[in-house]
């Protein structure tokens, strides 16, 4: 049970923050390239998911909480070095609460799951965890509201849109991640 | 002259702080237009951060259209930050412009504009805040005061016009 890494992007594609906890394999490219690749891919997935959705993504009435729409993503998983799952196993989109349009939320491979959360202000949170974590949306929302907003937005010294260099934010985020119920580094 | 205030101490301090800010700006710039501009600029800087706090606390998702935006601004945002709920009226036929009517404006409690500051738009900060906040959620808007109780009108009216949607831009790709 673990969290591998976390990226925070702003609406322009700059990676504001990155940290890893249990990453066993690097991507083999420079960090800058990795961030660009991650952001670009997510941008494409979001528009793909919305375009190819067989249902109306903007419901005018409430939908049941756990309606899930399996969407084939195996083509988009060519990024991952791991085995691609059979198409119907990539559950990426579900209409959650009343009157919200959520779009892309996560993808999984046979080894890890990537969770995505985007605020209406364009901030994107991406977290890779192992498969034991079905939904990290609330975790990412908490990181946004209780950590990002509190320690970065409310700090006049922190310039928005630039790399987050607040020590307080980093250390609080680190403690938060390590304190998550699904975080427990496997013994090497 | 101070009048009895029934709101809690926080809002009194806020009103007095804002008043002190405007007074200082007037001394520094000696020109109402310049003060209006500075207030708007400050408001903008507040707005671009305030939106994050608002989104975090209200958990509101993206609005579908400008009408929904207007409702959220009036019923959720104003309530959350200023404790008032302005009414949304005077929609233009194209649906791209509306008015927020504020029966009372907490910023102007205890305030009277002296005659030599007749062009001062005292609550300019609010225009900047709205503009900055909406820009962060991809909306370019124009915000101005159409009526102001400080200048003798019966209500305070903020007019908001939708200019355009700010598109997401893809980061520069590799060659």
Instruction: Inspect the interface and report whether the beta carbons of A121 and B137 lie closer than 8 Å.
Output: yes
pLDDT attached to residue B118: 86
For A16, list phi and psi in degrees, rounded to 5.
-80, -30
Give me the residue from B52, B64, B173 closest to A121, CB to CB.
B52
Q: Which residues of B fall within a CB distance of 8 Å from A99? A: 61
A3-178 under CATH 3.30.450.70, yes or no: yes
Kindly report, residue by residue over A127-157, the tens digit of the pLDDT.
Answer: 999 999 999 999 999 999 999 999 999 999 9
The nearest alpha carbon in chain B to A58 belongs to: B64
Q: Which residue has the higher pLDDT, A103 or B127?
A: B127
The Cα of A149 is separated from the nearest Cα of chain B by a number of Å equal to 6
Q: Measured at the alpha carbon of residue A50, what is the angle toward residues A161 and A95, in degrees to the nearest 5?
A: 95
Phi-psi region of B90 (alpha: psi -120 to 50; beta: other; left: phi over 0): left
Question: Does pLDDT of A103 surpass 80?
Answer: yes
Give me the residue from A100, A123, A145 closest to B61, CB to CB.
A100
pLDDT attached to residue A59: 52
DSSP state, residue B132: H
Question: Does pLDDT of B152 surpass 50?
Answer: yes
Pairing type for strands B87-89 and A3-9 reads: unpaired
Kindly report, residue by residue over A3-18, the tens digit of the pLDDT.
Answer: 999 999 998 999 999 9
pLDDT attached to residue B122: 92
Q: Which residues of B fall within a CB distance of 8 Å from A40? A: 170-171, 173
Domain limits, chain A: 3-178
Kindly report, residue by residue over B43-68, the tens digit of the pLDDT.
Answer: 999 999 999 999 999 988 888 899 99
Q: For the residues B167-173, what does the mean pLDDT come to?
A: 67
The Cα of B117 is separated from the nearest Cα of chain A by a number of Å equal to 31
CA–CA gap between residue B107 and residue B111 (Å, rounded) = 8
The nearest alpha carbon in chain A to B56 belongs to: A145
Pairs of residues, one from chain A and one from chain B, whose beta carbons lie less than 8 Å apart: 54
DSSP H or E run through A6: strand A3-9
Kindly report, residue by residue over B153-166, the tens digit of the pLDDT.
Answer: 999 999 999 999 99
CA–CA gap between residue A188 and residue A56 (Å, rounded) = 46
The nearest alpha carbon in chain B to A59 belongs to: B64
- Look at residue A14 and give its three-state secondary structure: coil
Instruction: Inspect the interface and report whether the beta carbons of B52 and A153 lie closer than 8 Å.
Output: yes
* Cβ-defined contacts of A60-69 (< 8 Å, 24+): A62/A98, A62/A99, A63/A95, A63/A98, A65/A96, A65/A97, A66/A94, A67/A94, A67/A95, A68/A93, A68/A94, A69/A93, A69/A94, A69/A95
The Cα of B86 is separated from the nearest Cα of chain A by a number of Å equal to 23
The nearest alpha carbon in chain A to B134 belongs to: A121
What percentage of chain A reaches a pLDDT higher than 70? 73
Contacts (Cβ under 8 Å, ≥6 apart) of A105: A92, A93, A94, A115, A116, A117, A135, A137
CA–CA gap between residue B35 and residue B120 (Å, rounded) = 7
Distances, alpha carbon A15 to alpha carbons A33, A36, A154, A166, B171, in Å = 11, 8, 20, 15, 11
A178 touches chain B (CB under 8 A): no
The nearest alpha carbon in chain B to A33 belongs to: B174
A46 touches chain B (CB under 8 A): no
pLDDT attached to residue B109: 84
The ipTM, to two decimals, is: 0.83
CA–CA gap between residue A2 and residue A184 (Å, rounded) = 5
- Look at residue B18 and give its three-state secondary structure: helix
């Amino acid at each position: 049970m673990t969290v591998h890494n976390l990226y925070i992007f702003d609406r322009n594609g700059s990676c504001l923050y990155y940290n890893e906890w249990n990453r066993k394999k690097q991507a083999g490219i420079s960090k800058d390239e990795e961030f660009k690749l991650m952001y670009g891919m997510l941008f494409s997935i979001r528009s793909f998911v919305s375009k190819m959705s067989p249902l109306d993504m903007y419901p005018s009435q409430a939908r049941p909480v756990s309606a899930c729409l399996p969407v084939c993503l195996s083509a988009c998983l060519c990024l991952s070095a791991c085995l691609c799952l059979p198409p119907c196993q990539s559950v990426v989109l579900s209409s959650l609460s009343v009157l919200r349009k959520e779009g892309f939320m996560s993808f999984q491979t046979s080894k890890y799951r990537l969770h995505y959360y985007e605020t209406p202000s364009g901030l994107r949170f991406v977290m890779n965890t192992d498969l034991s974590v079905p939904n990290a949306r609330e975790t990412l929302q908490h990181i946004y509201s209780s950590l990002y907003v509190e320690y970065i937005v409310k700090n006049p010294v922190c310039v928005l849109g630039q790399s987050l260099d607040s020590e307080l934010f980093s250390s609080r985020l680190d403690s938060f991640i390590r304190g998550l119920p699904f975080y427990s580094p496997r013994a090497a | 002259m101070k009048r009895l205030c029934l709101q809690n101490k926080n809002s009194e301090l806020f009103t007095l702080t804002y008043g002190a800010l405007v007074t200082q700006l007037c001394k520094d710039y000696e020109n109402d237009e310049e003060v209006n501009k500075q207030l708007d600029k400050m408001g903008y800087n507040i707005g671009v951060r305030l939106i994050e706090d608002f989104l975090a606390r209200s958990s509101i998702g993206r609005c579908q259209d400008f009408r929904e935006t207007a409702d959220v601004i009036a019923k959720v945002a104003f309530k959350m930050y200023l404790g008032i709920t302005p009414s949304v009226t005077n929609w233009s036929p194209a649906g791209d412009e509306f008015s927020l009517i504020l029966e009372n404006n907490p910023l102007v409690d205890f305030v009277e504009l002296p005659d030599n500051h007749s062009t001062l738009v005292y609550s300019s900060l609010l225009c900047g805040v709205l503009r900055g906040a909406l820009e962060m959620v991809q909306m370019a808007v124009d915000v101005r005061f159409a009526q102001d109780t400080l200048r003798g009108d019966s209500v305070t009216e903020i007019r908001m016009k939708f200019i355009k949607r700010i598109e997401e831009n893809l980061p520069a790709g590799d060659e």
